[in-house]
């Protein structure tokens, strides 16, 4: 079984700044969200038969480590650069207002090929999809019974889009909450909400 977790809330999330490959530390709420995800996963997986794949960005690695420690997963966390968030180029660290001021002609967030790739020098959907397909292939072929992916907001939407074979316009409408994890089944994705202490 494959489970997808978004990293916990970060300081940039609170400030409503786009992160991309730029890192921002988890807030205390973000750490509590990671523990909540771990408690939910503890009832779904057996620690000795579970492996965690994580983006190498600090916010995802910290979330993955909290999950591993809470559940008691002893297998090393597999960091995979293909799980990184979309690269937003010169828009990283900016708010929506700052981006609109800098690029008034840019595509809005709802543009079909956008999925928030609004910076002229940012990563496009095709490139992001290609690398996320690669990681899904590696994850599916791993011999662990349960595989937990710790990734990001836009990357998580695209992972679900690929698994469900959705049109990008539909993927834009997918949410990316910090208090829900997703279980990938045969042509379905189940939302699993969890409590935060």
Active site residue 118: no
* Tens digit of each residue's pLDDT, the chain (197 residues): 999 999 999 999 999 999 999 999 999 999 999 999 999 999 999 999 999 999 999 999 999 999 999 999 999 999 999 999 999 899 899 988 888 888 777 655 444 344 445 577 889 888 999 999 999 999 999 999 999 999 999 999 999 999 999 988 788 789 999 999 999 999 899 999 999 99
* Domains defined for the chain, CATH in brackets: 2-193 (3.40.50.1240)
Q: Choosing from 18, 21, 85, 123, which is the catalytic residue?
A: 85
Catalytic annotation present for 49: no
Rounded Cα–Cα distance for residues 29 and 3 (Å): 21
pLDDT recorded at residue 172: 77
Q: What is the pTM of this model?
A: 0.93
Which of 27, 64, 60, 35 minimizes the C-alpha distance to 197? 35
Query: Distance (Å, rounded) from C-alpha 193 to C-alpha 178?
Result: 9
pLDDT at 106: 66
Match 């690398």 to its residue by tokens: 131
CB 151 within 8 A of CB 55: yes
Return the SS3 of 185.
Answer: strand
Nearest CA-CA partner of 143 in 61, 74, 66, 48:
48
Classify residue 162 as exposed, middle or buried by CB count within 10 Å of its CB (0-12, 13-18, 19+). Answer: middle
Look at the block and give the residue holding tokens 């910076």. 119
Catalytic residue among 7, 21, 163, 178: 7
């Amino acid at each position: 079984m494959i489970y997808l977790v978004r990293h916990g809330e970060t300081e940039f999330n609170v400030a409503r700044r786009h992160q991309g490959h730029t890192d921002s530390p988890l807030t205390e709420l973000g750490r509590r969200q990671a523990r909540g995800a771990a408690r939910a996963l503890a009832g779904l997986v057996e620690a000795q038969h579970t492996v965690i794949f994580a983006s190498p960005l600090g916010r995802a690695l910290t979330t993955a480590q909290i999950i591993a420690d809470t559940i008691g997963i002893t297998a090393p966390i597999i960091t995979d650069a293909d799980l990184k968030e979309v690269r937003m180029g010169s828009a990283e660290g900016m708010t929506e207002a700052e981006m609109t001021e800098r690029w008034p002609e840019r595509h809005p967030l709802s543009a079909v090929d956008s999925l928030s790739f609004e910076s002229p020098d940012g990563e496009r959907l095709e490139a992001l999809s290609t690398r996320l397909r690669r990681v899904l292939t590696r994850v599916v072929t791993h011999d662990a019974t349960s595989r937990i992916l710790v990734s990001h907001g836009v990357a998580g939407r695209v992972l679900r889009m690929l698994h469900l074979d959705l049109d990008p316009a539909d993927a834009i409408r997918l949410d990316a909450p910090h208090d829900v994890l997703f279980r990938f089944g045969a042509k379905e994705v189940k939302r699993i909400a969890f409590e935060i202490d």
